[in-house]
Amino acid sequence: MEINISNLKKSFGYQVVLDNLNLYVKGVHSIVIIGPSGGGKSTLLRILAGLEIPENGMITINNKKMSKDEKELHNYRKTIGVVFQAFNLFPHLSAMKNITLPLEKVHNLNKKKASTRAKTLLNKFKLGEHAHKYPSQLSGGQQQRVAIARAVALDSQFLLLDEPTSALDPALTSEVLDSILELKREKKDLILVTHEMGFAKNVADYIVFVDSGKVIESGKAIDIFSNPKTPQLKEFLSKTLKH
């Protein structure tokens, strides 16, 4: 994918959360955003998802300029898959229905097609035997894999994931990380926020370090982890790699 973000600005009230953020990345499939809590990572992802409108700045993704018009954003949102930290499954629907409902309602697939696609994906993410269960009957890791399956079901080339494992214990985390690595093998375009540095190293073609609403440093994963340049990134890595 090719992404060009220039002078992106977003405030909530008086608080400037994204402060003229700039980023240009080309020719990579997976971008991993890292950085301290409160730095603006989720806000950036929500803007890229079309869920938040910036006050200022321009974003082009694969040479297409992102609109700031609510109607156009509504259509744009249908073309990307999004997975958030807190799963966001419909609690009153089975795993299966969580996947088929958006396919039927938003993407106008007929019941049969939606159900075939959902079954294939549930099997792929090792959830075949859990298809009939409600979210409350699934473990956190299983719920998050349903959320990933749902995002992938839309068959979008482009997936955004915001700390998909942060609510999970380590055993469940690795199941979800495996599912994400599988998407990488399929050459989906991923933009992912994670605090799992080992995983970031594994999955990232490109790392973006965001702090105080700016991209402080970015580059290939090997360079970023072996040779961080800015004091902010050095400090962040020395803190997070200790744990």
In 54-187, which ranges are continuous DSSP H helix? 70-77, 95-105, 111-124, 140-153, 170-185
Out of ligand ADP, Mg ion, none, what residue 135 binds, judged by CB under 5 to 8 A for its kind, is none
Out of Mg ion, ligand ADP, none, what residue 17 binds, judged by CB under 5 to 8 A for its kind, is ligand ADP
Residue located via tokens 């974003």: 59
Binding residue count for ligand ADP, defined by CB under 6 A: 10
- 10 touches 18 (CB < 8 A): yes
> Which stretches of the chain bind Mg ion, using CB under 5 A?
41-42
- 87 touches 32 (CB < 8 A): no
- CA torsion 106-109-114-116 (nearest 10°) is -150
Out of ligand ADP, Mg ion, none, what residue 218 binds, judged by CB under 5 to 8 A for its kind, is none
Residue 166 φ/ψ, nearest 5 degrees = -70, -20
Q: Can you tell me whether residue 205 is helix, strand or coil?
A: coil
Which CB atom, from 17 or from 122, has the smaller least distance to ligand ADP? 17
For residues 28 and 236, give the distance between their C-alpha atoms in angstroms, rounded to a whole number.
24
Near ligand ADP in 28-57, by CB under 6 A: 35, 37-43
Which CB atom, from 42 or from 143, has the smaller least distance to Mg ion? 42
To the nearest whole angstrom, how small is the minimum distance from the Cβ of residue 33 to ligand ADP? 8
- 200 touches 194 (CB < 8 A): yes
To the nearest whole angstrom, how small is the minimum distance from the Cβ of residue 103 to ligand ADP? 29
Residue at shortest CB range from Mg ion? 42
| CA distance readout (Å), 216 to 191, 195, 212 | 17, 17, 9
Which CB atom, from 73 or from 93, has the smaller least distance to ligand ADP? 73
To the nearest whole angstrom, how small is the minimum distance from the Cβ of residue 121 to Mg ion? 26
Which CB atom, from 37 or from 63, has the smaller least distance to ligand ADP? 37
Q: Can you tell me whether residue 20 is helix, strand or coil?
A: strand
Out of ligand ADP, Mg ion, none, what residue 43 binds, judged by CB under 5 to 8 A for its kind, is ligand ADP
Q: Does 17 bind ligand ADP (CB under 6 A)?
A: yes
Binding residues (CB under 6 A) for ligand ADP: these are 12, 17, 35, 37-43
